[in-house]
């Protein structure tokens, strides 16, 4: 019987899955077991679209379709959290297993706090993530830095600080991430600043870091993070869907070192990005100038795992006059005020911005400042943020009745 806190090596017993999966295929094996045994009604995962640069979310109810989600795609920059709210009714009416990177897990927690996702109905299979590369940038990088036609690449991975590609004729080539990123390629800027490499707020945290010895490349490292996760792993192991073995202590140590190195790298990038942003008026000036290009596509709001209001304040004509370009800075102030305490640095507001505004950087910088001030860390547990302890409708009524837009009684 697995228990919370356990660390094991796990691998699928299905030859079919083993053929298509990576690192032992435990994740695909566990998802298949959960779906076949009515532990969940569906699985939300990511599959390859037109090629390996095209990550497409997919909602699977037939276990036979799970094979297409096996393996990892580092050029997928999706955030699944908001999709659950927008298109799967926030998992209010069905049980869903979801494979989650750190940002997915954090976004899900933030939406769950706001009653937009029912966490009880979710089974979160966490996967380690060292960061992802935007697909168009990845193709450019492979063409220009690797000297390889991106259409000839059959596999890509991020391992030991390198971005590695394998071509159809079997050629391997790796270049260090540091070198790529110094030249403007490599991971998204929010991924560089990210410090959620092993998502332990999921039910299971899976990955290949720390799998050593004869199991290297053939098993998945699984850390059991919740009772729900323990139950799934135990039942799957008991039924023979996956096989497990205790993790090698040396492997556990190595996994810790990898994680530690990634966190240190995250700190380095934070220092660099936040440093360049400056402080006080200088920072404000930069934010105002950059955001003045906004053309009001609302992508930052639509894709944000914190934004959920039906009546968004940015659509109040007395705060932000509609249809006016350049968009008044109040539009962005509203977002900073409402989101910054809970920003999980998922990067969507920036990578979906058609006007190249560094939204995510600003919000993340504000969030880290506020975390220092208020001691609240978003995305890791169900603790309410400063602004989520009010119920929207009631709060709006109160504000309307008092004729104010100041939210007073939020400090506990």
Partner 1 sequence: MAETNGKLRYVPTTCPYCGVGCGLNLVVNDGKLVGVEPLKRSPINEGKLCPKGVSCWEFVQSPDRLTKPLIKKNGKFEEASWDEALGLVASKFREISDKFGPKSLGFQVSCRTPNEECYALQKLARVAFKTNNIDNCARICHGPSVAGLSLSFGSGAATNPFEDLANTDLIFMIGANSIEAHPLAGRRILQAKKAGKTLIVCDPRYTPTARLADHYVRYNPSTNIALINSIMYWIIKEDLHDKEFIAKRTKGFEDMRKVVENYADVESITGVPTERVKEIARMYASAKNAVIIYCLGITEFTTGTDNVRSLGNLSMLTGNIGRPGVGVNPLRGQNNVQGACDMGAYPNVFSGYQKCEDPAARKRMEELWGVTGLASDYGVTLTEQITQCGDPIKAMYIFALNPVVSYPNSNHVMRSLEKLDFLVVQDLFMTETAQYADVVLPGASFAEKDGTFTSAERRVNRIRKAVQTPGDSKEDWQIFVDLAHKLGLNGFDFNSPEDIWDDMRRVTPSMAGIPYSRMEKPESVHWPCPTLEHPGTPILHREKFSAADGLGTFFGLEYRPPAEVADAEYPFTLMTGRLIFHYHTRTQTGRAKMLHHEVPEGYVQINKEDAARLKIQDGEKIKLRSRRGEAESLARVTDEVGPGVLMMAMHFADASANMLTNDALDPLSKMPELKHCAVSVEKITGVQ
Binding mask 167-196 for partner 1 (x = CB under 8 A): ------------------------------
The reply to whether 83 sits near partner 1 by the rule CB under 8 A is yes
User: What is the side-by-side order of every strand in the sheet holding 220-224?
Assistant: 55-60, 42-48, 96-100, 122-127, 204-207, 220-224, 7-12, 242-246
* Cα dist from 16 to 42, 67, 222, whole Å: 20, 8, 21
Pick from 355, 380, 384, 387: which binds partner 1 (CB under 8 A)?
355
- Nearest approach, Cβ of 19 to partner 1 (angstroms)? 25
Alpha carbons 238 and 1: distance in angstroms, whole number: 8
Q: Position of tokens 């009001």? A: 296
Pick from 61, 171, 176, 285: which binds partner 1 (CB under 8 A)?
61
The reply to whether 69 sits near partner 1 by the rule CB under 8 A is no
- Nearest approach, Cβ of 89 to partner 1 (angstroms)? 9
Contacts (CB under 8 A) with partner 1, residues 123-142? 134-136, 139
Using only the alpha carbons of the chain, give its radius of gyration: 22
**Dihedral-angle region of residue 176 (phi above 0 means left; psi in -120 to 50 means alpha; beta otherwise):** beta
Dihedral angle sign, alpha carbons of residues 387, 390, 392, 395: negative
Q: How many residues bind partner 1 (CB under 8 A)?
A: 44
* Cα dist from 103 to 4, 85, 189, 193, 264, whole Å: 22, 15, 13, 12, 18
- Nearest approach, Cβ of 188 to partner 1 (angstroms)? 11
Pick from 182, 326, 382, 393: which binds partner 1 (CB under 8 A)?
326
- Nearest approach, Cβ of 260 to partner 1 (angstroms)? 31
- Nearest approach, Cβ of 33 to partner 1 (angstroms)? 21
Q: Position of tokens 């096996």? A: 70
Contacts (CB under 8 A) with partner 1, residues 137-166? 139, 151
The reply to whether 108 sits near partner 1 by the rule CB under 8 A is no
- Nearest approach, Cβ of 87 to partner 1 (angstroms)? 5
Alpha carbons 251 and 254: distance in angstroms, whole number: 5
Binding mask 284-303 for partner 1 (x = CB under 8 A): --------xx-xxxxx--xx
67 and 20 Cβ atoms separated by less than 8 Å: yes
Between residues 16 and 51, which has the closer beta carbon with respect to partner 1? 51
Of the candidates 9, 83, 70, 31, which has an alpha carbon nearest to the alpha carbon of residue 245? 9
**Helix, strand or coil, per DSSP, at residue 346:** coil
Query: Which residues partner with 59 through β-bridges?
Result: 44
- Nearest approach, Cβ of 300 to partner 1 (angstroms)? 11
The reply to whether 351 sits near partner 1 by the rule CB under 8 A is yes
Between residues 341 and 350, which has the closer beta carbon with respect to partner 1? 350
- Nearest approach, Cβ of 18 to partner 1 (angstroms)? 27
359 and 303 Cβ atoms separated by less than 8 Å: no
Between residues 225 and 346, which has the closer beta carbon with respect to partner 1? 346
- Classify strands 162-167 and 122-127 as parallel, antiparallel or unpaired: unpaired
Stretch that binds partner 1, among 79-87, 100-108, 233-241, 332-340 (CB under 8 A): 79-87
Pick from 18, 20, 56, 309: which binds partner 1 (CB under 8 A)?
56
Stretch that binds partner 1, among 241-249, 268-276, 347-355, 394-402 (CB under 8 A): 347-355
- Nearest approach, Cβ of 56 to partner 1 (angstroms)? 5
- Annotate 85-148 with DSSP letters as a single string: HHHSGGGSSS-EEEEE-HHHHHHHHHHHHTTSS-GGGEEEEEE-------HHHHHHHHHHTS--
Work out the burial of residue 155: count CB atoms within 10 Å of its CB; fewer than 13 is exposed, 13-18 middle, 19 or more buried.
middle
- Nearest approach, Cβ of 195 to partner 1 (angstroms)? 24
Query: Which residues partner with 224 through β-bridges?
Result: 204
> What is the 8-class DSSP label of residue 214?
G
Stretch that binds partner 1, among 9-17, 328-336, 353-361, 375-383 (CB under 8 A): 353-361
Q: Which residues bind partner 1 (CB under 8 A)?
A: 42, 44, 49-51, 53-59, 61, 77-78, 83, 86-88, 134-136, 139, 151, 292-293, 295-299, 302-303, 315, 322-323, 325-326, 351-356
């Amino acid at each position: 019987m697995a228990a919370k806190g356990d660390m094991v090596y796990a691998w699928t017993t299905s030859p079919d899955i083993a053929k298509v999966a990576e690192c032992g295929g435990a994740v695909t094996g566990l998802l298949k077991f959960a779906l076949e045994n009515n532990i969940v009604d569906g699985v939300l995962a990511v599959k390859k679209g037109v090629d390996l640069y095209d990550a497409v979310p997919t909602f699977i109810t037939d276990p036979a379709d799970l094979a297409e989600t096996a393996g990892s795609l580092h050029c997928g920059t999706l955030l699944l959290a908001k999709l659950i709210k927008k298109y799967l009714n926030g998992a209010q009416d069905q049980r869903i297993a979801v494979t989650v990177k750190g940002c997915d897990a954090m976004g899900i927690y933030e939406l769950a706090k706001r009653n937009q996702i029912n966490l009880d109905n979710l089974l979160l299979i966490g996967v380690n993530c060292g960061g992802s590369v935007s697909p168009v940038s990845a193709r450019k990088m492979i063409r220009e830095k690797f000297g390889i036609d991106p259409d000839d690449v059959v596999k890509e991975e991020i391992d030991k600080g390198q971005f590695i590609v394998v071509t159809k004729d079997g050629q391997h080539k790796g270049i260090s991430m540091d070198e790529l990123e110094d030249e403007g390629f490599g991971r998204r800027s929010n991924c560089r600043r990210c410090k959620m490499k092993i998502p332990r707020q999921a039910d299971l945290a899976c990955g290949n870091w720390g799998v050593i010895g004869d199991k290297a490349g053939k098993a998945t490292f699984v850390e059991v993070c919740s009772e729900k996760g323990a139950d799934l792993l135990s039942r799957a192991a008991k039924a023979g869907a996956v096989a497990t073995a205790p993790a090698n202590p040396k492997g556990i140590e190595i996994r810790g070192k990898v994680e530690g190195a990634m966190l240190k790298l995250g700190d380095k990038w934070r220092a660099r990005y936040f440093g360049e942003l400056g402080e006080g008026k200088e920072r404000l000036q930069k934010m105002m100038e950059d955001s003045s290009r906004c053309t009001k596509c609302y992508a930052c709001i639509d894709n944000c795992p914190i934004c959920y209001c039906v009546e968004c304040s940015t659509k109040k004509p007395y705060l932000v006059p509609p249809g006016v370009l350049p968009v008044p800075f109040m539009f962005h102030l509203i977002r900073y005020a409402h989101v910054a305490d809970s920003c999980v640095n998922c990067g969507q507001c920036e990578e979906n911005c058609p006007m190249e505004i560094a939204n995510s950087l600003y919000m993340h910088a504000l969030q880290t400042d506020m975390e220092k001030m208020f001691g609240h860390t978003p995305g890791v547990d169900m603790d309410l943020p400063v602004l989520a302890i009010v119920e929207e409708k009631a709060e709006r009524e109160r504000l309307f009745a008092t004729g104010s837009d100041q939210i007073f009684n939020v400090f506990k």
